[in-house]
Structure 1
Amino acid sequence: MAESILSFNQFSFQYSSLAEPTLHDICLDIYPGEKILIAGPSGSGKSTLAHCINGLIPFAHKGKISGDYTLKGCCPAEQSIFEISRSVGTILQDQDSQFIGLTVDEDVAFAFENDCVAPEEMKPRVARALSMVDMQEHMNQSPHELSGGQKQRVSLAGVMSMEVDILLFDEPLANLDPASGKHAMKLIDDIHRDSGKTVIIIEHRIEDVLEQPIDRIVVMAEGRIVAVGTPDEILSSNVMQENGLREPLYISALKYAGCGLTPDAQPSSLEKLSDNEQVRRALGEWIEVSDNSPHEHEPVPLAELQDVRFAYGEGTEVIKGVSLKIGAGERIALLGNNGAGKTTLSQLLTGMVTPTSGDILLNGESIRQWSIRRLGEQIGYVMQNPNHMITQTMIRDEVGLALRIQGVPQAEITAKVEEVLRICGLYSYRDWPVSALSYGQKKRVTIASIMVTEPKLIIVDEPTAGQDFKHYTQFMDFLSRLAERGVSLLFITHDMHLALEYTERAAVLCNGEIIASGSTASVLTDTEIMKRANLKETSLSMLSRSTAVATPEALVRHFIQYEKRKKQVSEHE
């Protein structure tokens, strides 16, 4: 067997500011050319392990190290951070924080400039790096003007230009729509196959990562490696759900149906499973046991968009005659590709911009003449990027800011803030500075800061971004309980799992128009709508089509009903 390119042996790490180690007895060998997925819930230690791999530990984050770690046979602690960066290139979750140049080509050229490469040699090398990620035509644009998927490609080009041995991706699918995420994983796989580099991916969206070949999955929990195996070995076990991770939807459905999955059945291949007669029989029997008919009722109207149109200045219309009703206590998923107009629609609802024509009603009254403050007391908006919302230094102050502005007594503020922090899993951090939190934890702070005002409608832009399955389930369950008390929820999301599990209705926006609206199960199984809106068909729908045991809508409805009953039983135990 080839010598490992990365090797951890009984490796532990404890940050200087913490009383206990974050990593415990890590034993892991990664070999040249491997493609590895590292998965685990928040706090599992995967980010700390990544910091060890790319040299931020021990150079940027100080602490106590025990055990051994080698990079290409050398001890990283005895190298400089510059030397490590020659071997490991990192593509960050938040690409904006990685950009340096004013234009795309300047950003990619940064590494060459550091190496004093002559301009005549630098230009073709920059062009070659951008060509690898299909971004040459954008070389004169500002990186900050690009879409999420394009920003990721530029970051990758910058790292590829350095000719490193290891590519480390920190949540490469964060903030990408499903189709863009699929393209990103295909790009990573193409580069892995063509370059032969070692690829390490840290990601929550396991199902999306596994659409492309992966050699091994490393599962972490509480600072330890709890499982290492091939995708077939991991998926046929229960290690993911036991450690707070979301399995691919089709795997969960097959386990619910009583299919005995083994590595030999190759569960990582939906196509291979669909050819298995035992799998088809068990799935068919499972679907037959419940009522799959839709149970829909018309909720009391809360908000309504009536033929709303909007254009920025004299430019092209970005919202084109949108009509949409939101009922009291209704949970709706607003789906669509990047650039479809979802964020603009939310700005119209919150009064940040005014319709060019048409009207928006709240409880039957037009909001056109309402002040931002009055509207803000009725409609809460949680931005996709938490750093765009946070203004206070301390967590407690950030969550209570809106209440202080409203003049609420301090005792009441304290009680409400602590209640919401408990619900969002942040109570133990209540006296921490916001800067000490992870991206996902900051996201929960912004959600808590909206929850505390108890609005009638909450618009949440990408609630699952940066969240592990456990924590996103916790606060999504809380939001659902708010819906039961009459609070309406509009989720702007790329997450098909969230739409299936937490919404009754979905609306699909494409090029500024609503092209579909109806029950979530029916919308997400309409392949023409999915294709037109650049969305990705769920694996449940694909499982139904490949096995032909039921219609896609019937399988999806049954899956949703089964999970709801399962959750209700669990809550009463």
Structure 2
Amino acid sequence: MMNQEIISVRDVRYCYPTGTDPVLRGVNFSLRRGEFVGLVGATGAGKTTLCQTLNGLIPHYTLGEMQGEVWVNGKKTTDLTVADLSSMVGLVFQDADAQLVMSTVEEECLLGPMSQGLSRREARQRARQILERLEISHLAERSPQALSGGQKQRVAIAAVMVTEPEVLVLDEATSELDAMMVGKIFHLCERLNREFGTTILLVSHEVELLARYTDRLLVMDKGRIVLDAPTRQALQEHQILQQVGVRLPQVTRFAVATREVLAWPTLPLTEEEALPVARAALNGSRPQPAEVPPPRPEAGTEPPLIEVKNVRFAYREPVTVLHNINLTFRQGEFTAIIGNNGSGKSTLMKLILGLLKPSAGQVIIDGIDTRQAKVSDLARRIGFIFQNPNDQLFASSVAEEVAFGLKNLGLSEEEIRHRVEETLVRFQLTGVRDVFPRFLARGDKQKVCIASIVAMNPQILLLDEPTTGQDYRDSHQIMELARSLNEQGITILLVTHDLNNVARYARRVIAVNDGVIVADGPTTEIMSNRELLASCHLTPPQIVRLSLEMSEAGIPPIMTPEALAEKIRHRLSLHPTAREKH
């Protein structure tokens, strides 16, 4: 049964009606019944376009020029309608808003099975089971449009899963979910695959989870499949993956960095595989006393830049979203705000921006009480970067986008020209100064957004999930840019689900759960507290988990693969005989 092809893609080429260059350039692969396959690649590689050929959206709804053939269950998609294909191939989009059309969550989940002929009672029973598994049954009567981004994504997943398709395709469908829920989605896909034989194709940048769950990995680059192999074999090809912009699992990067001192029989994919080799090497060295973590830095003596005092907030009384929040931020901090979907992170950001006013308490920005201030006045001090750069870009060129905010500040034409030129050079945008911003790649769009804000010389930059849906290269570019701006004195507040970036870049972490600040401290302290993070539906990054398992050998909690590799190399250099044994 496993060898029977359910999908066959044969030399598919495709060009969008508004494009000149093909997005797919001769794609060939097949899916066998019961497989669990991952699909990875950089932004723009063609992954989403390929997914839309599998359920007939291309070429039936999205026009353009398509060559080659896609076969599903022995029939060409061009000979079937999208409705015919919907019971065979279920597709969950990255953009949940493009998929949600009904007035309530329950009605959204009833639409598919009832269109397949199920009675309302049968459809409701099936829908309730899926909603419970995804932990959103309490949202059944809510409007999908009133939900958070992460909640919308779960509703979109439920609405497709409830139709019980033979093939389930998830196109970055977990990008806005917290880490624990992402893990649950992967686990649920595994159950569907194992218990019901559902064929899974999962597009994701979550390489640690792909390594743990998938049987096979497809790697795309510039419209082609450049690697198609069992997952373990594919992830050994670290040079190919790095060349096409696919991040390796953290423990695999650690192993690559320690190949000269540790005898890896094969590159590990999980911390369970990495631990025995690392432990064996360390056990051959003299035990080291556990490192004492550095004391918490004392609060600076300069006046606070941001003060949140006894703040309570409710969108509608009496339901309180934030409870008695007290926070202080000083100039030059790089702070990450983390928490599960619906914890109150975005509401806290909007209060700091002045877009919302506290129901009780005060938010003070550089001595200004936001209750008495205009948003335009606060905008001179605070810059805000949206999660989706398209929500922020509307000018006809990159240069005009950078100039727009400066004009609103009332600066002279000469000063505007000077700042625009300075900013374009600073952000390496001179080569695209006359390009329509929406034509740029997503990572470059985000860079234009940041440039247009930084040109206004804000003291504070708020980043709301700036790397969601971004590939490794774009994510790295954005976070390195944030680091550079912080080194120049700009205070950075980062809201994110990506704890890998938190561990690498932030110096302070604030954890929010159910509208309450449950932790506020140095990054290493928060990231290494498994119980705390679990209470917020989060989990430490893979390399942090590995370092915690090595604590008996005197290894402290470590935040990045490079830092752990350096620590191991240093330990073994002190004890060369231990290194020789391995």
Judge conservation of contact 1:540–1:552 (CA < 8 Å) in 2: no
Q: Assess, with a 3 A threshold, how the Cα gap between structure 1 residues 131 and 227 changes in structure 2: closer, same or farther.
A: same
Greater CA drift, 456-465 or 6-15 = 6-15
What corresponds to 1:86 in structure 2?
A: 87
Question: Quick check: 1:12 aligned with 2:10?
Answer: no
Return the alpha-carbon distance in structure 2 between the equivalents of residues 361 and 514 of structure 1: 18
- Picking from 488, 492, 499, the partner of 1:489 is 492
Q: Assess, with a 3 A threshold, how the Cα gap between structure 1 residues 18 and 366 changes in structure 2: closer, same or farther.
A: closer
Letter in 2 for 1:309: V
Greater CA drift, 392-401 or 59-68 = 392-401
Return the alpha-carbon distance in structure 2 between the equivalents of residues 368 and 561 of structure 1: 46
Q: How does 1:55-70 map to 2 (within 5 A)?
A: 55-70=56-71
What corresponds to 2:576 in structure 1?
A: none
The DSSP-based 3-state class of the residue aligned with 1:509 is strand
- Picking from 332, 338, 341, the partner of 2:341 is 338
Letter in 2 for 1:459: L
Judge conservation of contact 1:340–1:511 (CA < 8 Å) in 2: yes
Alpha-carbon displacement from aligned partner over 1:41-89 (angstroms, at most 9, x marks no partner) = 1111112211222222222333333444322222223333333333211
- When normalised by structure 2's length, the TM-score is 0.84
Letter in 2 for 1:224: R
Question: Quick check: 1:34 aligned with 2:63?
Answer: no
Letter in 2 for 1:354: K
What corresponds to 1:129 in structure 2?
A: 127
Return the alpha-carbon distance in structure 1 between the equivalents of residues 552 and 259 of structure 2: 15
What corresponds to 1:405 in structure 2?
A: 408
Alpha-carbon displacement from aligned partner over 1:286-305 (angstroms, at most 9, x marks no partner) = x99xx997596866555232
What corresponds to 2:230 in structure 1?
A: 230
Judge conservation of contact 1:36–1:201 (CA < 8 Å) in 2: yes
Letter in 1 for 2:236: S
Alpha-carbon displacement from aligned partner over 1:474-496 (angstroms, at most 9, x marks no partner) = 12212221112111110011110
Return the alpha-carbon distance in structure 1 between the equivalents of residues 98 and 283 of structure 2: 46
Q: Assess, with a 3 A threshold, how the Cα gap between structure 1 residues 318 and 67 changes in structure 2: closer, same or farther.
A: closer
Q: Assess, with a 3 A threshold, how the Cα gap between structure 1 residues 137 and 407 changes in structure 2: closer, same or farther.
A: closer
Return the alpha-carbon distance in structure 2 between the equivalents of residues 392 and 536 of structure 1: 40
Q: Once the 2 structures are TM-superposed, how far is the Cα of residue 174 of structure 1 from its aligned partner?
A: 1.1
The DSSP-based 3-state class of the residue aligned with 1:168 is strand
Q: Assess, with a 3 A threshold, how the Cα gap between structure 1 residues 436 and 113 changes in structure 2: closer, same or farther.
A: farther
Q: Once the 2 structures are TM-superposed, how far is the Cα of residue 514 of structure 1 from its aligned partner?
A: 2.4
The DSSP-based 3-state class of the residue aligned with 1:273 is helix
Alpha-carbon displacement from aligned partner over 1:480-518 (angstroms, at most 9, x marks no partner) = 211121111100111101111221221112233322222
Q: Calculate percent identity across the aligned residue pairs.
A: 28
Structure 2, gaps ≥5 residues long:
567-582
Q: Assess, with a 3 A threshold, how the Cα gap between structure 1 residues 177 and 508 changes in structure 2: closer, same or farther.
A: same
Q: Once the 2 structures are TM-superposed, how far is the Cα of residue 31 of structure 1 from its aligned partner?
A: 0.8
Alpha-carbon displacement from aligned partner over 1:352-393 (angstroms, at most 9, x marks no partner) = 223344443444555543221111110112233456555667
State the aligned residue count: 558
Judge conservation of contact 2:465–2:496 (CA < 8 Å) in 1: yes
- Picking from 463, 472, 477, the partner of 1:474 is 477
Judge conservation of contact 1:173–1:205 (CA < 8 Å) in 2: no
Judge conservation of contact 2:467–2:474 (CA < 8 Å) in 1: no
Return the alpha-carbon distance in structure 1 between the equivalents of residues 370 and 161 of structure 2: 50
Return the alpha-carbon distance in structure 1 between the equivalents of residues 428 and 166 of structure 2: 39
Judge conservation of contact 2:218–2:227 (CA < 8 Å) in 1: yes
What corresponds to 2:376 in structure 1?
A: 373
Judge conservation of contact 1:301–1:326 (CA < 8 Å) in 2: no
The DSSP-based 3-state class of the residue aligned with 1:173 is coil
What corresponds to 2:578 in structure 1?
A: none
The DSSP-based 3-state class of the residue aligned with 1:6 is strand
What corresponds to 1:218 in structure 2?
A: 218
Return the alpha-carbon distance in structure 2 between the equivalents of residues 320 and 75 of structure 1: 57
Return the alpha-carbon distance in structure 1 between the equivalents of residues 418 and 228 of structure 2: 44
Return the alpha-carbon distance in structure 2 between the equivalents of residues 89 and 445 of structure 1: 35
- When normalised by structure 1's length, the TM-score is 0.85
Q: Assess, with a 3 A threshold, how the Cα gap between structure 1 residues 349 and 235 changes in structure 2: closer, same or farther.
A: same
Q: Once the 2 structures are TM-superposed, how far is the Cα of residue 8 of structure 1 from its aligned partner?
A: 2.6
Q: Once the 2 structures are TM-superposed, how far is the Cα of residue 555 of structure 1 from its aligned partner?
A: 2.7
Q: Assess, with a 3 A threshold, how the Cα gap between structure 1 residues 61 and 447 changes in structure 2: closer, same or farther.
A: farther
What corresponds to 1:199 in structure 2?
A: 200
Q: Assess, with a 3 A threshold, how the Cα gap between structure 1 residues 486 and 314 changes in structure 2: closer, same or farther.
A: same
What corresponds to 2:186 in structure 1?
A: 185
Greater CA drift, 31-40 or 16-25 = 16-25
Return the alpha-carbon distance in structure 2 between the equivalents of residues 386 and 392 of structure 1: 13
Alpha-carbon displacement from aligned partner over 1:77-106 (angstroms, at most 9, x marks no partner) = 333333333321111112122112111222
Q: Assess, with a 3 A threshold, how the Cα gap between structure 1 residues 137 and 18 changes in structure 2: closer, same or farther.
A: closer
Q: Once the 2 structures are TM-superposed, how far is the Cα of residue 168 of structure 1 from its aligned partner?
A: 0.9
Letter in 2 for 1:221: D
Return the alpha-carbon distance in structure 2 between the equivalents of residues 161 and 268 of structure 1: 32
Judge conservation of contact 1:305–1:322 (CA < 8 Å) in 2: no
- Picking from 447, 451, 454, the partner of 2:454 is 451
What corresponds to 2:258 in structure 1?
A: 257
Greater CA drift, 191-200 or 316-325 = 316-325
Return the alpha-carbon distance in structure 2 between the equivalents of residues 326 and 16 of structure 1: 49
Return the alpha-carbon distance in structure 1 between the equivalents of residues 426 and 166 of structure 2: 43
Return the alpha-carbon distance in structure 1 between the equivalents of residues 94 and 427 of structure 2: 22
Q: How does 1:500-519 map to 2 (within 5 A)?
A: 500-519=503-522
The DSSP-based 3-state class of the residue aligned with 2:184 is helix
Q: Once the 2 structures are TM-superposed, how far is the Cα of residue 560 of structure 1 from its aligned partner?
A: 4.7
Letter in 2 for 1:274: L
Judge conservation of contact 1:292–1:557 (CA < 8 Å) in 2: no
Letter in 2 for 1:9: R
The DSSP-based 3-state class of the residue aligned with 2:305 is strand
The DSSP-based 3-state class of the residue aligned with 2:351 is helix
The DSSP-based 3-state class of the residue aligned with 1:401 is helix
Question: Quick check: 1:545 aligned with 2:548?
Answer: yes
What corresponds to 2:312 in structure 1?
A: 310
RMSD: 3.6
Letter in 2 for 1:450: I
Return the alpha-carbon distance in structure 2 between the equivalents of residues 397 and 387 of structure 1: 15
Return the alpha-carbon distance in structure 1 between the equivalents of residues 391 and 534 of structure 2: 32
Q: Assess, with a 3 A threshold, how the Cα gap between structure 1 residues 65 and 510 changes in structure 2: closer, same or farther.
A: closer
Q: Once the 2 structures are TM-superposed, how far is the Cα of residue 418 of structure 1 from its aligned partner?
A: 7.4
Q: Assess, with a 3 A threshold, how the Cα gap between structure 1 residues 357 and 241 changes in structure 2: closer, same or farther.
A: same
Judge conservation of contact 1:254–1:279 (CA < 8 Å) in 2: no
Alpha-carbon displacement from aligned partner over 1:105-135 (angstroms, at most 9, x marks no partner) = 22122235545x47xx222223213313415
What corresponds to 1:524 in structure 2?
A: 527
What corresponds to 1:77 in structure 2?
A: 78
Q: Assess, with a 3 A threshold, how the Cα gap between structure 1 residues 559 and 263 changes in structure 2: closer, same or farther.
A: closer
The DSSP-based 3-state class of the residue aligned with 2:518 is strand
Letter in 2 for 1:103: T
Q: Once the 2 structures are TM-superposed, how far is the Cα of residue 329 of structure 1 from its aligned partner?
A: 2.4
Q: Assess, with a 3 A threshold, how the Cα gap between structure 1 residues 400 and 122 changes in structure 2: closer, same or farther.
A: farther
Return the alpha-carbon distance in structure 2 between the equivalents of residues 512 and 262 of structure 1: 47
